Chain A
Amino acid sequence: MSCSTTDCLLELYDEQHELEDYQSGVPRWCTGCGDNAILAAVQRLCRDEGLRPEKTVFVSGIGCSSRFPHYMKTYGFHGIHGRALPIAEGIKMVRPDLAVFVNTGDGDCCSIGAAHWIHAVRYNMNLTVFLHDNQIYGLTKKQASPTSPIGTKSNTTPRGSYLDALNPLSVTLGVANASFVAQAVDWIPESLFEIVKAAYHHRGLSFVRILQRCPEWLSKSFDPWMQDTDRIQLLHHENALRLSAGLSKTYRNQREHDPLDMNRAREIASSEDVIPVGILYQNREIPRYEETRQTGVLRTIETVRQGFEAELDKYTV
């Protein structure tokens, strides 16, 4: 008896949306940019899940990827550099009924926003976070980012970058309360969509790192993996994603991986030769911060006023 007649009546005239209902403007991204694939997958998710535009928010920081909210005909917040996550947390805290998505880039999340990133993972609020990782600062025309591979020549590292790249997957898996960590690549749209969908359905902070091509500033970076399909390792499990026939035909390198196995997830996250694609870790039992903080008290004007007065009374002389 999951749905009573009345519940069904209430949903009878729910609006059906088309992909176009979520499209807004023509993306200013370069032709060939992987952000386009992410946008298409997310718009498809919104349509398939029947997300109501007025109940959906996309929050971003600064960078190419952070133009994302402009192209979604939903609510959006184009924030400041590195601060997408705290803004999204604030929104979720006061409006838990909204679907909140975060689009952030490798510079935005892993450099200036790194502190917020760590704590957002620990808070495990019900947010869907997409890390658009093109391994370069694109909007400001090619500077090395924390995820640029060692030796990347850029305007800030003309002799090649000196440090090993930061691995966003390993970092996230190392934070307490991590509940959903996945990796996708923009050039396999089917698995990108499936992972985006699983992330949306996960209750808690779902962190999806999407490896994304930058045709303008780092055009050859992913060629070795794109040209050799065996260097893409598809993760599958009965409790995570299952592979379609078409996908398993093209990508032969497959690995069964239980998403509850943290140790194995960390091992997979540090693969260098192959790019693992799929859900590395998922634990549905970890509590959501906004739920643990819920008091169940209805916020009427009176309760808010009483609360204020009680606080102020403490300082009455």
Chain B
Amino acid sequence: MEIDLQTNLAFYLTGKRLNDQLDAVDGLNLRPALFSGYRDLTSLRYDFPLVLVDSRQDGASDGPCFEPLSGLIDDILEKVAKGANSDRIGKHVLRLEQDIRTQVTRGASGRFSALWDQAALPLGKGDQLIADSLSHARANLKIDGEVVDCNAALPYRLLGHAWHINQTQRALQFGRDIKRLELKLTDIIKADFVNSDAGKSAEVLRSSFGTGPMDHFDFEAMSRILAKSSRRDSLSETRRNRVTNLLATLQSQQFFPMSEANAGKPYGFDFDSCVDALAAYRQRLPKLIELARAVAIAELEIKGEYNDAKHDPLFDSFGENGLEAGDLARFPDYLVRLNAGNMTGLEHSTLTEILAVDLPIKILFQTDDVIEESPLGNGHLAFALRSRQLASMSMGMNGVFVLQSPASNLCQLHQQIRRGLDYPGPALFSIYSGASPSCGELPPYLVGAAALESRVFPAFTFDPAAGRDWASRFSLETNPQATLDWPLREFAYEDENLQTVAERMPFTLIDFVACDARYSKHFARIPKTRWNGALTPVGDVLAREDRGHLDSVPSLNMVNPENSLQKVIVDEKLIREARRCRDMWNSLQELGGIHNSHAERLLAREKEIWLETVDLAGAAAASAITAITAAAAVPSAATVPADPPPADQAAEREAERSPDEAYIETSRCSTCNECTQINDKMFAYDENKQAYIADPGAGTYAQLVEAAESCQVSIIHPGKPRNPNEPGLEELLKRAELFL
């Protein structure tokens, strides 16, 4: 074995550099080769910074509650960049956008409009044209809000903002409901007063007339007349008390901020600890139940449907077993924002408790480091372990909305975030900020995106409200190239002969770990002089299930700060970890219906059976396929079961009936009263007001025949006479023949 290979293999197997043929990567400032194009993010138009869009006062906003800066700029340009000046305005506004982005990356914060003004001032100073373009565009800046970059504070602020908007809309709706109930309840009391003796006194009547020529009216006389006129019953004392108490409860509620009439300060629902949130929830529960009960009773009361005897017992025990999610949906949700780094044992157990019992609590679980070492020590790795544990536990509870994603990807998930906040029950938002302190100069956006690409921190949603099965609930849709183990990316570089070499390479866990200074010992750089065939790209090694022949070592393409290509070999520990990461991803894929093993086995079995059929009778099978295709193309009655027709009861009855018996085709009766006018004992109407023969003995055969003849829709059949001695039978039977 060559010495080179021996050195490489020794590193591969042990992680030790035996001699100086391999360079330590510490201090070389290498980054994965695929990052070579992303040195300066401020020159790129990408999802960040985001604008946390203000809520509209009418609460009718359906748009996303945050939007990328570039999207808002595009919207503005669409409105202003028209006609001859479109190119110029476009160029100037895009330059402004880049300036804002640079400022925000450097730590500037503030509202979109303020940042715009700050950036526009120096740009427009020396150039009238720029000033003109920017002021035109500025007039179209209609959407405003705080601007945030992708950094450690983003998940906290973004989720807080989305939650706040959601709560504002709920408060508006609830406020409207409460106001309506208050108005109607007050009306009940007012109406009672107007009906009372006091309400009809001359004094009250006078004051109700407002201003004007009052001496034209004799209010005393008016009062006397009104007092004498019939009076409706006044409110019972119980009802009056009930209505007054309801009003007091509604007016003193502290769950939503209300106007002047509100007695108490509204509760806060935003917490940084599960323990505190749970304690607040428990403490407020009796008040919540009282309010929910008051709203329910008030609804009945204003419709005049409240019945003491029936409803009292029902509402006495209201909420004894807590309120269900549907009832809680109109009240505020709690928001708890946690950071994985600060979690204590008590917090963990309380979090589990909250998620297990369907409390209306939304949890943000922010992780800043996904590739930490296991608490076991001894170099054990526990990549993304905590978030994985939490997410799978929550999904296992079945009633928790779960969203996991790196912060860099949140922009695409605004609908899912809204669904989670609307979900009537607990929701867990597990977000990786990308702001890992050991990632050096790499911007958090890039680290977050790399975590997503490398499947270390995949994005998914589990929405229990979307359906009952995994296919409807679970989605992996925002992951790049979700059907593959690792996403494949184009990579191009120039070789020594200045020729472009392009290849497709996967972005794997190894690339992600290579960004982290803590794991530099697992990598070693090979000087260019020793690049040879015994280096296998990491992707190919990972595709194998085992170590294989020890004739090469896995190598990774990286770049140094000058953007020149470097090859780095990786030790086996990381390769094992990467395979584990891929296995985890594969099991997520199965949940998401990608390469589902059950489905694939079933498919294989069916294919086998089909192939056998083909072998048995080729021609017959061919026609079968045509039939199947035709059936699939046209969902006819054979494939789509139609609603069963209503049971033909009439037909059944008809079958049972003796031919001599008189009968009516009741379902065809048009309620014209002809028969019932002839004999209302013999003919009667059923519960749908359609005629039937109630008692054939209640009249004569002559009446039956007469009814049959006068029936507008000819549905009376007189049958055979019951009394053989009835006069004129012969003639009647002849007439009846027409209706047999």
In the complex, the chain A residue whose C-beta lies closest to that of B330 is: A4
Q: Which of the 9-residue segments B141-149, B212-220, B277-285, B669-677 touches chain A?
A: B669-677
Tally of A-B residue pairs with Cβ under 8 A?
A: 104
Contact of A244 among B314, B648, B688 (CB under 8 A): B648
Asked if A189 and B667 sit within 8 Å, CB to CB, the answer is yes
Contact of B314 among A9, A188, A246 (CB under 8 A): A9
B689, CB-defined interface residue at 8 Å: yes
Interface residues in chain A, defined as those with a beta carbon under 8 Å from any beta carbon in chain B: 1, 3-7, 9-10, 12-13, 18-19, 31-34, 36-37, 39-40, 43-44, 186-190, 213, 215, 226, 242-246, 249-250, 296, 298, 300
Asked if A39 and B299 sit within 8 Å, CB to CB, the answer is no
Tell me which residues across on chain B come within 8 A of A243, comparing CB atoms.
645
A61, chain B: closest CB distance, angstroms: 23
In the complex, the chain A residue whose C-beta lies closest to that of B311 is: A13
B649, chain A: closest CB distance, angstroms: 9
CA A4 to CA B324, docked complex, whole Å: 8
Asked if B176 and A296 sit within 8 Å, CB to CB, the answer is yes
Asked if B690 and A189 sit within 8 Å, CB to CB, the answer is yes
B641, CB-defined interface residue at 8 Å: no
Asked if A226 and B713 sit within 8 Å, CB to CB, the answer is yes
CB pairs A–B below 8 angstroms (18 shown): A4-B326, A6-B292, A31-B673, A34-B670, A36-B670, A36-B671, A39-B671, A40-B671, A40-B688, A43-B689, A44-B688, A190-B667, A226-B712, A242-B643, A244-B645, A245-B646, A246-B648, A300-B183
Knowing A12-B314, A43-B689 are in contact, say whether A31-B674 is a contact too (CB < 8 A).
yes
Tell me which residues across on chain B come within 8 A of A18, comparing CB atoms.
687
Knowing A5-B326, A13-B307, A187-B670 are in contact, say whether A19-B689 is a contact too (CB < 8 A).
yes
Asked if A245 and B651 sit within 8 Å, CB to CB, the answer is yes
Tell me which residues across on chain A come within 8 A of B674, comparing CB atoms.
31-32
Apart from A4-B324, A37-B671, list 7 A-B contacts with CB within 8 A.
Answer: A10-B299, A34-B672, A36-B672, A39-B671, A226-B713, A242-B643, A250-B668
Asked if B292 and A213 sit within 8 Å, CB to CB, the answer is no
B153, CB-defined interface residue at 8 Å: no
CA A10 to CA B301, docked complex, whole Å: 11
Asked if A6 and B689 sit within 8 Å, CB to CB, the answer is no
CA A188 to CA B107, docked complex, whole Å: 78
Asked if A1 and B326 sit within 8 Å, CB to CB, the answer is yes
Asked if A10 and B296 sit within 8 Å, CB to CB, the answer is yes
Asked if A1 and B300 sit within 8 Å, CB to CB, the answer is no
CA A40 to CA B685, docked complex, whole Å: 10
A167, chain B: closest CB distance, angstroms: 24
CA A7 to CA B305, docked complex, whole Å: 14
Asked if B183 and A31 sit within 8 Å, CB to CB, the answer is no
B547, CB-defined interface residue at 8 Å: no
CA A286 to CA B292, docked complex, whole Å: 36
Asked if B668 and A189 sit within 8 Å, CB to CB, the answer is yes
Tell me which residues across on chain B come within 8 A of A5, comparing CB atoms.
323-324, 326-327
Tell me which residues across on chain B come within 8 A of A12, comparing CB atoms.
314
Bitwise, B170-207 to A at CB < 8 A (1) or not (0) is 00000010011001000000000000000000000000
Interface residues in chain B, defined as those with a beta carbon under 8 Å from any beta carbon in chain A: 176, 179-180, 183, 292, 296, 299-300, 305, 307, 310-311, 314-315, 318, 323-327, 329, 424, 465, 642-643, 645-646, 648, 650-651, 667-674, 677, 687-690, 710, 712-713
Asked if B712 and A244 sit within 8 Å, CB to CB, the answer is no
Tell me which residues across on chain B come within 8 A of A32, comparing CB atoms.
672-674, 710, 712
A53, chain B: closest CB distance, angstroms: 13
Asked if B296 and A245 sit within 8 Å, CB to CB, the answer is no
CA A144 to CA B590, docked complex, whole Å: 75
Tell me which residues across on chain A come within 8 A of B710, comparing CB atoms.
32
CA A4 to CA B326, docked complex, whole Å: 5
Asked if A246 and B670 sit within 8 Å, CB to CB, the answer is no
Tell me which residues across on chain B come within 8 A of A296, comparing CB atoms.
176
Tell me which residues across on chain A come within 8 A of B329, comparing CB atoms.
1, 4
A127, chain B: closest CB distance, angstroms: 22
Knowing A4-B327, A32-B712 are in contact, say whether A186-B670 is a contact too (CB < 8 A).
yes
Asked if B307 and A246 sit within 8 Å, CB to CB, the answer is no
Tell me which residues across on chain A come within 8 A of B648, comparing CB atoms.
244-246
Asked if B651 and A13 sit within 8 Å, CB to CB, the answer is no
CA A33 to CA B180, docked complex, whole Å: 47
Contact of A215 among B314, B318, B424, B712 (CB under 8 A): B712
CA A187 to CA B179, docked complex, whole Å: 50
In the complex, the chain A residue whose C-beta lies closest to that of B292 is: A6
CA A224 to CA B519, docked complex, whole Å: 94
Q: Lowest 5 CB-CB distances: which A-B pairs, in order?
A: A4-B326, A40-B689, A37-B670, A40-B671, A1-B326
In the complex, the chain A residue whose C-beta lies closest to that of B180 is: A298
B672, chain A: closest CB distance, angstroms: 5
Knowing A10-B296, A44-B689 are in contact, say whether A190-B424 is a contact too (CB < 8 A).
no
Knowing A4-B327, A44-B688, A245-B646 are in contact, say whether A31-B672 is a contact too (CB < 8 A).
yes
Tell me which residues across on chain A come within 8 A of B671, comparing CB atoms.
36-37, 39-40, 189
Tell me which residues across on chain A come within 8 A of B645, comparing CB atoms.
242-245
A17, chain B: closest CB distance, angstroms: 12
CA A249 to CA B654, docked complex, whole Å: 14
Contact of B650 among A10, A13, A246 (CB under 8 A): A246
In the complex, the chain B residue whose C-beta lies closest to that of A8 is: B326
Tell me which residues across on chain A come within 8 A of B292, comparing CB atoms.
6
Tell me which residues across on chain B come within 8 A of A10, comparing CB atoms.
296, 299-300
Asked if B713 and A244 sit within 8 Å, CB to CB, the answer is no
Tell me which residues across on chain A come within 8 A of B183, comparing CB atoms.
298, 300
Tell me which residues across on chain A come within 8 A of B314, comparing CB atoms.
9, 12
